[in-house]
Amino acid sequence: MTAKLFIGNLPYSCTEDDLRSIFESAGTEPVDVRVIIDRSTGLSKGFGFVEMADYDAAIYAKGALSGAVLGDRNLVVDLAKPSASGKVSR
């Protein structure tokens, strides 16, 4: 079963490839990477989600990447929580 991470404090110029690269450089293999994009500007909204293969991989990635620097920002990494509607969010 996969586990999803919320990634916050992303630089506005961050792409999905940038986010995938930082996870891979930490020794983790994300299943899926999504940076949330503002429709009007086409830039990152400053957060995204990374799906890991399982809960253990998500916990490892959270520990390895919480506070890591991407651009000029320290990443916030936390387990995503399902909302009342069933969608996963922070």
Among the CATH numbers 3.30.70.330, 3.30.200.20, 2.40.50.100, 3.40.50.2300, which is that of 3-83?
A: 3.30.70.330
pLDDT at 81 > cutoff 90: no
Contact 80, 89 (CB under 8 A): yes
Q: What pLDDT does 85 receive? A: 64
Could you tell me the pLDDT band of residue 83, with boundaries at 50, 70 and 90? low
pLDDT digits (tens, 9 = 90+) for 30-73: 999 999 999 998 889 999 999 999 999 999 999 999 999 998 99
Q: What pLDDT does 43 receive? A: 86
Q: What pLDDT does 82 receive? A: 77
